[in-house]
Structure 1
Amino acid sequence: MSTLRTSLTSLLGIRTPIVLAPMAGASGGALAGEVSLAGGFGFLAPVYRGLENFKNEFDIARSTLNRPSGPLPLGAGFLGWKLEEAQSPHVALLELALENGVQAVWFSFGEDLGRWIELVRSHDEKHGKTRKTLVFVQVNSVDEALHAAQTWKVDVLVAQGIESGGHGSASSPPVLNLVPQIVSALPPSGAPPVLAAGGLSDGAHLAAFLTLGAAGAVVGTRFLFAQESLYSDVQKRAIIAARSGSAVRSYVFDRLRDTTGWPAGTDGRALAMPAVAAVENGADITAIKEEVAEGAERGDPSSVIAWAGTGVGQPNRLQPAKDIVRELHEDAVARLKASFALIGDE
């Protein structure tokens, strides 16, 4: 595979600027490991089922990468608001990731992310790390990006647009607008790489954002189609069957799951469900919750929450993660070559 060289690939030592999003319930050790093996950069996410479960995902990642000990060429993502809960057990998950020598950590959705960035840097200093743990921070506006770059001195900015699957700011602009706005606001040299995130599902998207000044792309929904994804078979079938426009934003998804502790202004994008429409139209949520639970128990796809971005409806088959990375990369390279071939001297 050829190499697409950007500030991100240089920073991480990877061959293609494709980053797996840390999707809770989907991005486990096998998926993150395979993306990294294929030349991209994988992030795994805690599924918040306890420390032992997270340890197991790291064991799987080490087996996948054939790294029984030592640093790991992948990252781990964490929700700031979960870390910030009183006596949070999630702090131990972050410490476990650092003990495993992850190359990077990704923070999002918190009121005090600077605290966790400092924890990472203190860990590095305490253990005498010669190669620091890189810090990725997800941002939804130019102001957030500037604060992260100038105050926290983060290593990578993830510009998340409104198209993103899973959770995001309900007021975020489209990623097509957000990325160039952030790139233009940062100084021309010495600024952290900016990654585009939200609805990106093919090589054309990667190529387009590289020309807009991004150093790479975060891909989430496309990797839900990976054989190594932790999504259930029911969720994968629902994603495969989805059509363009099937992924919608709503606060109701979290009300159905009783996961309503997200920061103000944060909602989620998932495949449309009859239950969500019913609650939005005034139905009693208690009764709807019972119906959804019963449907999920039966394996009814319309009763299962499948977080997904606007990229649904394009890929429609399960693949190994390595093949997804290769297809995205090769498509982007071909499109970039074709685009620049249009330029000539008169």
Structure 2
Amino acid sequence: MKFGGILGFDNGIIVAPMGADVSGPELVAAVANAGGIGLIASPVNKYELTVKAIRQTRNLTKKPFGAGILLEFDQEKTINAIFDEKLACMEVYWGDFPKEMVDEAHKHGVKVIHQVGSVKAAERAIAAGVDCVIAQGVEAGGHIAGTVSLTALVPRVVDVARDWGIPVVAAGAISDARGYVAALALGAKGICVGTRFIATHEAYANDYYKQQLLNYKENQTDRTDLYERLTWRANVRCLNTPFHQKWHDAPDTVQNDDSQPIIGKSIIYSNETILRRFSGQVANPTTTGKLEDMVMYAGQGVGLVNDIVSAREVIRRYVDGAKAIIQEMGQIYLAENNHKGHGASMEEEDGEADLIVEDGWAWV
């Protein structure tokens, strides 16, 4: 499934490094095997656990893959593990990644992908020498740094990156091939996808969470900072579940501290984790407790997620669907003029320049 490959991969489809461990070895390997860019949701500042996750993924694929790093926290140990294991790429997010760190990554043969939510952040990333920029629109699920829609943000970031020859990837509510083609039309070279990949067999998410994605539409998500306030106050987009609706307007003093009841437990990267109300951890297959009271991250593209399939099938739909749309649009908008034959042009009349079609290309 080669189509629009970037950074040496067969296609330009990236699976977002969804935490805490949704983007685990099985999902990352499945995306890699299908020619996409798989990104492990790395443990926070844990060398041994990061190496373990990388090696588990390598047991499932011979293809290159990468890992995601959340810059909000100290990640020196995790980054060192990525360098030592010589991954193909590393996605960084939610903070600056200075030139000296980009240069260090390059010394280890690791390409740097920086996800941003604004033009200014993109400019800083480009100046630091990154290999790729992901422009994330406010429609995206999970943690969202920006406030601008994808269609407004991507062309601006593309304009900034063009002179540097740096590819831009679009992220935010791209759940089918139509969104993929739209991103390409905006100037992006690929897409970064989260919500659609949660609803796959390989995603390390609880089945309850996966099924809930099938029941919600684009107007049933909410951008909020309600979750994980104790350690990190950040906006996320999640499903507007009955639990979330009840607590949506909770004052800033409400947070996931010890005063909140325990609503469940999970095993995350081999460690048992207690989940209190308003925890920012989504449910994985080991999670027990009140699943309906847990956060469920999802973007506004959730209304287009209608089934649970393999990650390979998701990528096939993106690739084959995009090819079909582009071909159909070419037939409609770039069709040869049957009356004048191949290479014909529409002559200028009344002082107005008309459309010229030649060898499959069109211009005025």
Q: Same fold (TM over 0.5)?
A: yes
CA drift of 1:124 comes to: 4.7
Tell me what 2:217 maps to: 243
CA drift of 1:118 comes to: 2.4
Map 1:1-346 to 2 at 5 A. Answer: 1=1, 3-5=2-4, 9=5, 11-24=6-19, 25-48=21-44, 50-66=46-62, 73-83=64-74, 90-110=75-95, 112-114=96-98, 118-122=100-104, 124-125=106-107, 132-149=109-126, 151-169=127-145, 171-187=146-162, 189-255=163-229, 258-260=230-232, 262=233, 266-282=234-250, 285=254, 289-290=260-261, 292-293=263-264, 299-342=289-332, 343-344=334-335, 345=337, 346=346
The answer (yes or no) to whether the contact 1:121–1:133 under 8 Å persists in 2 is no
**Structure 1 pair 240/19, CA: closer, same or farther in 2 (3 Å)?**
same
The answer (yes or no) to whether the contact 2:105–2:111 under 8 Å persists in 1 is no
CA drift of 1:138 comes to: 1.1
CA drift of 1:291 comes to: 7.2
In the aligned structure 2, how far is the partner of 1:140 from the partner of 1:298?
34
Give the TM-score of the pair, scaled to structure 2: 0.78
Tell me what 1:87 maps to: none
SS at match of 2:64: strand
Cα offsets for 1:280-299 (capped at 9, x unmatched): 43478479942755888764
Q: How many residues get paired?
A: 313
**Structure 1 pair 238/185, CA: closer, same or farther in 2 (3 Å)?**
same
CA drift of 1:50 comes to: 4.3
SS at match of 2:245: helix
Q: Which has the higher contact order (CA 8 A, sep 6+)?
A: 1
In the aligned structure 2, how far is the partner of 1:282 from the partner of 1:34?
40
The answer (yes or no) to whether the contact 2:134–2:168 under 8 Å persists in 1 is yes
In the aligned structure 2, how far is the partner of 1:215 from the partner of 1:286?
39
Runs of 4+ in 1 over 3 A off after TM superposition: 47-53, 273-289, 291-301
Q: Which structure has the larger Rg over C-alpha atoms?
A: 2
SS at match of 2:173: coil
Opposite residue 100 of structure 2, the aligned amino acid is E
**RMSD over aligned Cα atoms:** 2.5
CA drift of 1:63 comes to: 1.0
SS at match of 2:228: helix
Cα offsets for 1:203-256 (capped at 9, x unmatched): 11111111221111111110001111111222222223323322211010223x
Opposite residue 276 of structure 1, the aligned amino acid is H
Cα offsets for 1:22-50 (capped at 9, x unmatched): 11131112111110110111111124494
Cα offsets for 1:71-96 (capped at 9, x unmatched): x611111011112xxxxxx3211111
SS at match of 1:138: strand
Give the share of equivalent positions with the same residue, in percent. 27
The runs of 5 or more residues in structure 1 that have no matched partner are 67-71, 84-89
SS at match of 1:336: helix
CA drift of 1:184 comes to: 2.5
The answer (yes or no) to whether the contact 1:76–1:104 under 8 Å persists in 2 is yes
SS at match of 1:252: coil
**Structure 1 pair 99/120, CA: closer, same or farther in 2 (3 Å)?**
farther
The answer (yes or no) to whether the contact 1:245–1:312 under 8 Å persists in 2 is no
SS at match of 1:102: coil
